[in-house]
A and B are shown apart, each in its own frame.
Chain A
Amino acid sequence: MSRLRPGYASSDMNNMVNHPPRWSLWQPGNRHLFGYLLLLPAVLLTAAIIVYPIIAAIDLSFQKIKIAKLGRSRAPLTLANYEELFQAPEFYQAIWVTITLVAAVTLLSYVIGLATAVLVNQRFRGRKLARILVAVPWAVPSVMAAIIWWWLFDSSFGLINWALVRSGLSSEMIPWLSTPGAAFFVIVVVMVWKGYPFISVIMLAGLQSIPLELYDAAKVDGANAWNRFRFITLPGLRSVRGIALILIMLWVFRDFPIIYILTGGGPQRTTQTLAIMTYQEAFKFHDFGFAAAIGVITLIISIIASWFMVRRSDQPIY
């Protein structure tokens, strides 16, 4: 035992090996055991706080209960939550809101983010500072991003309303967050503001991995700026583009703070995504079984999306 580090081999294992060579965790043949021991704390922790809760949530989604209590005898298995869900118009509305929000934010963030990355990839004085400044909103926590724009879009004293009225674009103050459509627009603005620098940063890393010789060679061959962008820059970004898009889509899909703080899903559920609906059903209406059923659907969508991301790992970078 004395030769073994405490905690890394059980004593009964030690008793079995009285003949040489003495058993040791450090023998090359036991390397995999060492590997498992290193994984053990992480596996135990995640089993308790990730795997078990996921199983509990799935189990909950098949029970018709309002507020779940551990230890209380569980309700019988039923599909009632899912039946109710698939008949609820709110559910389809939430799916629609989620799809349009993800599409709008992703598309805008991608286009603006790519353009910004190309811009700050040019050589000019102050480029380093410019790169830092365009990345700043990415660092702003979602809660604070929501609060800043809340003030800018404030219906009575917000700067944006003042500018619109002042410039004659609007004849009256717009109650942004309580108007369907306008509220959705505000959410898109906040998410693009916070999300597109993230795309820029990733795209910039991709741009810097493209060898400059390619551009010089293309210029010699007479390619114009658009063709250089199309045939060198865009293909060169292939490795980072997919991951950037999936990460931003999943971020919008799963966002809680921005929507919750600004609108709580309203008005009339026009900004209620599946994630917000899950939360509201559980913690506002205390319908835990029903909420878990929506949550399980969001989990399945997340798994499919992240599976696409993982699958990309098989592809070569270039």
Chain B
Amino acid sequence: MARSRRESVILYALVITVIVVLVFPLYWMFNTSLAPGTQLRRFPPVFVQPEPTFAAYERIFNERPVGVWLRNSAVVAVASTALSMFVSVLAGYSISRIRARGSQSIGLFFLMSRMLPSTLIIIPLFVSFRQLQLIGDLKSLVLAHATFITPFAVWMLKGYFDTIPAELEDAAMIDGCNPLTALLRVVLPLSAPGLAATTLYGFVLSWNDFVFARTFLVANQNAWTVNVGVASLKGEYLTEWNEIMAGSLIAMLPIVLAYLFLERYLVSGLTAGSTK
């Protein structure tokens, strides 16, 4: 694939243009977060901060409960992912391997549940949670997030289990394992990368939620997740954009890092059920 000099120049120019256009909003976010408050309402805009300051970061941690919000997001993400992973590992394995009558229909149900509109399911969940006095409580989010993590996790995990040869379990059972210990001692260790990827993605899905957190926790500021909290920093008339950008950056950092690790797993996981 030899390429002429002219073609190479065009190619690099295109690649660089695409990347600049795509990534510039993120740079602008970072740039704004380092700006002193006096500079935000003034033109022309400053593209490189001459005197970058972390004052906005300090302020959101000292004067706003960003630390508490981050902790809430993490607690909910860990709990809802743990709950979803427990049921999904078992169900994904059953659908992949045992294929008892009806389990394919259950698998299909999970596949379709991935597309459930959250704006519908939130209505009956709100009614139930209010009756159970869970509104304003992080437990309501743990359950609500399981409604979208579980269907994803079942299908991602089924995909990984499909790639592990059944002969390995047969061999383990000849060596004295029963089907359960074969699952625990042979299949799960071999699926460790898939388990890790699915767990991490469950965490990401929970962390990214807005609609449930906004609706169930709105009255209790100390229970807010970081997404709800950061969005609330936008004032009606006056917004300290450096603070909201600093908060947004901190809130999205763990997710962007997770994606760097997850990308290759996600392509196969997201399209699960379509090409098999």
Given A130-B19, A240-B271: A135 touches B123 (CB 8 Å cut-off): no
Q: Which of B48-56, B114-122, B192-200 forms contacts with chain A?
A: B114-122
Contact of A143 among B15, B106, B118, B208 (CB under 8 A): B208
Which chain A residues border B12 with CB–CB below 8 Å? 124
Task: Contact check, B103 vs A39: say whether CB atoms are below 8 A apart.
Answer: yes
Which chain A residues border B19 with CB–CB below 8 Å? 130, 133-134
Minimal Cβ-Cβ distance residue in A for B29: A148
Given A49-B125, A69-B127, A306-B111: A295 touches B117 (CB 8 Å cut-off): yes
Name which of B83, B91, B114, B154 has the most chain A CB atoms within 10 A of its CB.
B91
Task: Contact check, B117 vs A254: say whether CB atoms are below 8 A apart.
Answer: yes
Report the Cα distance A317→B274, complex, angstroms: 9
Task: Contact check, B123 vs A292: say whether CB atoms are below 8 A apart.
Answer: yes
Given A41-B86, A151-B32, A288-B127: A119 touches B14 (CB 8 Å cut-off): yes
Report the Cα distance A38→B111, complex, angstroms: 18
The reply to whether the CB of A291 lies closer than 8 angstroms to some CB of chain B is yes
Contact of A70 among B83, B90, B127, B147 (CB under 8 A): B127
Minimal Cβ-Cβ distance residue in A for B44: A162
Number of interface residues of A (CB under 8 A): 104
The reply to whether the CB of B207 lies closer than 8 angstroms to some CB of chain A is yes
Task: Contact check, A313 vs B275: say whether CB atoms are below 8 A apart.
Answer: yes
| B120-154, CB < 8 A from A | 120-128, 130-131, 143-144, 146-147, 150-151, 154
Task: Contact check, B259 vs A242: say whether CB atoms are below 8 A apart.
Answer: no
Task: Contact check, B128 vs A53: say whether CB atoms are below 8 A apart.
Answer: yes
Q: Which of A79-87, A178-186, A277-285 forms contacts with chain B?
A: A277-285
The reply to whether the CB of B211 lies closer than 8 angstroms to some CB of chain A is yes
The reply to whether the CB of B112 lies closer than 8 angstroms to some CB of chain A is yes
The reply to whether the CB of A1 lies closer than 8 angstroms to some CB of chain B is no
Minimal Cβ-Cβ distance residue in A for B264: A205
Task: Contact check, A247 vs B270: say whether CB atoms are below 8 A apart.
Answer: yes
Q: Smallest Cβ distance from B132 to chain A, in angstroms? A: 9
Which chain B residues border A141 with CB–CB below 8 Å? 207-208, 227, 251-252, 255
Task: Contact check, B131 vs A142: say whether CB atoms are below 8 A apart.
Answer: no
Task: Contact check, B98 vs A60: say whether CB atoms are below 8 A apart.
Answer: no
Q: Which of A10-18, A29-37, A102-110, A228-236 forms contacts with chain B?
A: A29-37
Q: Smallest Cβ distance from A99 to chain B, in angstroms? A: 16
| B208-256, CB < 8 A from A | 208, 210-211, 214-215, 227, 230-231, 234, 241, 244-245, 248, 251-252, 255-256
Task: Contact check, A39 vs B123: say whether CB atoms are below 8 A apart.
Answer: no
Report the Cα distance A171→B176, complex, angstroms: 81
The reply to whether the CB of A227 lies closer than 8 angstroms to some CB of chain B is no
| A281-318, CB < 8 A from B | 282-283, 288, 291-292, 295-296, 298-299, 302-303, 305-307, 309-310, 312-313, 317
Q: Smallest Cβ distance from A71 to chain B, in angstroms? A: 7
Residues of B that sit less than 8 Å from A by CB:
1, 8, 11-12, 14-15, 18-19, 22-23, 25-26, 28-29, 32, 40-45, 83, 86-88, 90-91, 93-95, 97-101, 103, 106, 108-128, 130-131, 143-144, 146-147, 150-151, 154, 178-180, 207-208, 210-211, 214-215, 227, 230-231, 234, 241, 244-245, 248, 251-252, 255-256, 258-260, 263, 266-268, 270-271, 273-276
Residues of A that sit less than 8 Å from B by CB:
5, 8, 25-26, 31-36, 38-39, 41-43, 45-46, 49-50, 52-54, 56-57, 60, 68-71, 116, 119-120, 122-124, 126, 130, 132-144, 146-152, 154, 156-157, 159, 162, 166, 193, 197, 201-202, 205, 239-240, 242-244, 247, 250, 253-254, 256-257, 260-261, 275-276, 278-279, 282-283, 288, 291-292, 295-296, 298-299, 302-303, 305-307, 309-310, 312-313, 317
